[in-house]
Structure 1
């Protein structure tokens, strides 16, 4: 299949984040191949307006309804159609386009992503929480609408590139690689005293604050295991994680004949983004070519789930299934926010999540969500329990 001669129309949800910025960079490098038609941000009107002036989309939406008038004022006379609030966000996600890049972080990205999927066509998902909190529902919607889900996460995109769909029954194992984050070699005692500014210093990747903390706890890899379970025709027992500090191999698929196919590349999110935007073709992404001689060597080690308990909690939630991943994700978002605010310590992130999951099991809340309303209800419950747990930790001086 060849690339269409006319530019591919692209909508970017979450344009002011790190994924959004990388996506806009890829689009700007190939104006003959891509046309940005719609753009959205959460609350930052000034950043969104700057992007609108640079990239000239036909529509712009700010998710925070209270910011609508401000956006309308700063873009007055630009000819760009402006909207605000969740309804406008959903409308943007369903406007005529060839591909929607869903990069709104957190559970807030669920509704517009599902709306884009229901519309059909191609949806590049960079919001892992959509599949973690509502994976069964999201994939059912994709099948019903005939939508093509393209994974933007570097690990899932790597698997996407080397997973032989026609030989799925021959897959023995899917391996996601993890950098190990900034605390890979730290002792548990040192991790207990870690400050937010230390956790935000990722050795390889430039990402937003929340996902960088998730990398430091290795929750990011746990969430990716759950995401991979929904993206590919595999069981939970076929998924594993290996720590690979150089972040050159992004994912591997091992087959029953002993073959192991891997995707390698410079650690730059523009590679998987370009792969999704150009699929099923390929195009330039502006990424530095991989030089294995310069890299020198690649190393691997098993993850330490005693020090990185968030990974173990995510693996347990994947095996538990039903509503456990939804509760896990909500508890993690609350706990990460509390850590960044200085209200809990680094190791209390895992403690908060474990408390929420135990309470949810006790209260019989971990049933399979049957609708997005069910997802929202369980999400709200987990956040409430997590907030109470954090308040208790603060009260004890944790």
Structure 2
């Protein structure tokens, strides 16, 4: 991890926004800047980075040893549960001497922002928009980690498909997939794995059920991904059990072609608006306008969903180093759902799919 380069990216953003400092809580940005993974809990854990690159922190004392070893450059105030956090944050305010402060508004909870306001004597501002470019372009180390997460995910799916058969429940199949990922070196699933059968596959983010069992002719949708060193894979494939109804075949082939269109037009300079329009237009022109439920994709990295957001109206252009998903889908409520999702890196002269799983229609069971 190149902490110096990442810190420089942040300070450049702060200086461009004329913002003296920003506060972080544990999460992707916190980890990106420090290499330390901590969870959000009842104890406020605050990192402040100034526009000049100084790091200040208020950290629960139980994290002292790890924090001191990993982030020795931070000027840190440690506090004990028995003392509470109010005094530590007041000392942090005095130590930094700040008269203005931004926070990552899409991560920090209200009680942490309120505690900072009390300690600093003013209300922090929301720095979410300013931070959006921070992790937008992936470096070589990040790409390697995502590629490893993708390989583990793909191998785990193939192993799972070998045992899938009619009569298995969604949760039974999901459990097998999770075990296969962990046995291959995943730190954890990147998110709650989605395995949906039959009409349930039309629920874009449905919850697997022990009561729903795979039947002949059912779609079987997997939306899944492993996490490796904090970085996520996010892949979707849709299969059919034993045979494919004719209407489902046409739906699948339409989504497959939309996925191909999306991947093949990717290149630096292409506007996200144009990308989403091209993919969604293919789905709509095939007669499925009423079956479209979501945008074409999103950014991927430490967060499963991060910048850029791939949707109509976003005229930002693609740039080398962006890592995105291409995931067209069509959904007929309570009948069938099909989605095909790939993780794709924008390169200097086009794009490279990190996902290598076949996209052709496949029968299982």
Q: Tell me the TM-score normalised to structure 2 length.
A: 0.33
Q: Tell me the TM-score normalised to structure 1 length.
A: 0.31
| Larger strand fraction of residues | 2
Rg larger in structure: 2
| Larger helix fraction of residues | 1
